Amino acid sequence: MTLSKILSVVFLLGALGLGFMLYKSVDDVMQEEKKIAAIESRIIEKLQMLRDAQVAYNATNGEYADNWNDLKNFIQGGEIWLVQRKETTKLLEYGKEETTVTFDTLGSVGVMDSLFNERRHPNFNLENLHVIPGSGGTEFEFFTDKIERSGREIPVFEIRDPAPINPKRRENNNEKALRVGSRTDSSTSGNWE
């Protein structure tokens, strides 16, 4: 064999090795992004369920649950009242209208049967609802308070992931961590929406 053939084979093997390393590094990044997206999707699903439970808790108790145990007890044994609202409008003199609103309580349904039934959440597990997926057992942080708006106190809540798996969400002291609710506003939106 001549020197040029040996060098050609060596360069070909080197190019193949570098090509494989490049492919592997790009594939590793893509697999990590898919893993993060799948875990964040499960976190968002749990935050949505916790939001639904908090809204029902507030409707029943006039405030939000400030810890997991209170919310869990409400999910297990709490009830949501079914109320029917009727409006009657009566035309008065000179085109004025008088509206009468009546409320009728029809009964109640359990929180577990209403919000977390088999149809809506087939694999629902109450014991793990407060645990962040992919975190090894870390729990969501709960925060509740009351803020003043137009002379009234309004309850607020926030449930957030204290240790995001996504490096972009960890920037600036977890500023972009997945959360639902707000500490400063009466919002029940999630920051992914």
Whether residue 35 is contained in a domain is answered as no
> How does pLDDT run across 8-27, given as a tens digit for each residue?
888 888 998 999 898 888 88
Confidence tier at 156 by pLDDT (50, 70, 90): very high
CB 54 within 8 A of CB 65: yes
Whether residue 22 is contained in a domain is answered as no
> How does pLDDT run across 42-78, given as a tens digit for each residue?
999 999 999 999 999 998 888 899 889 898 999 888 8
- Ranges assigned E (strand) in 4-151: 79-91, 97-110, 141-149
Whether residue 122 is contained in a domain is answered as yes
Q: Decide if pLDDT at 191 tops 80.
A: yes
Kindly report the number of other CB atoms within 10 A of residue 119's CB atom. 5
Q: Longest Cα pair distance anywhere in the chain, in angstroms? A: 112
Whether residue 28 is contained in a domain is answered as no
Q: Decide if pLDDT at 171 tops 80.
A: no
79: buried, middle or exposed (CB in 10 Å: 19+, 13-18, 0-12)? middle
> How does pLDDT run across 66-118, given as a tens digit for each residue?
889 898 999 888 888 888 889 998 888 887 888 899 988 888 888 888 888 88
Whether residue 193 is contained in a domain is answered as no
How many domains are there within the chain?
A: 1
Q: Decide if pLDDT at 170 tops 80.
A: no
Q: Decide if pLDDT at 173 tops 80.
A: no
Whether residue 7 is contained in a domain is answered as no
* Residue-number span of the structural domain to which 96 is assigned: 40-181
- Ranges assigned E (strand) in 51-190: 79-91, 97-110, 141-149, 152-160, 179-181
Q: Decide if pLDDT at 147 tops 80.
A: yes
Cα dihedral: 14, 16, 17, 19 (round 10): 120
**Residue carrying structure tokens 């029940």:** 188
Per-residue model confidence (pLDDT) at position 158: 92
Whether residue 60 is contained in a domain is answered as yes
Sign of the CA dihedral with 66 first, then 180, 141, and 113 last:
positive
Q: Decide if pLDDT at 35 tops 80.
A: yes
Per-residue model confidence (pLDDT) at position 48: 92
Question: In the predicted model, what is the mean pLDDT of residues 129-154?
Answer: 88
- Rounded CA separation 147/150 (Å): 10
Q: Decide if pLDDT at 143 tops 80.
A: yes
Whether residue 191 is contained in a domain is answered as no
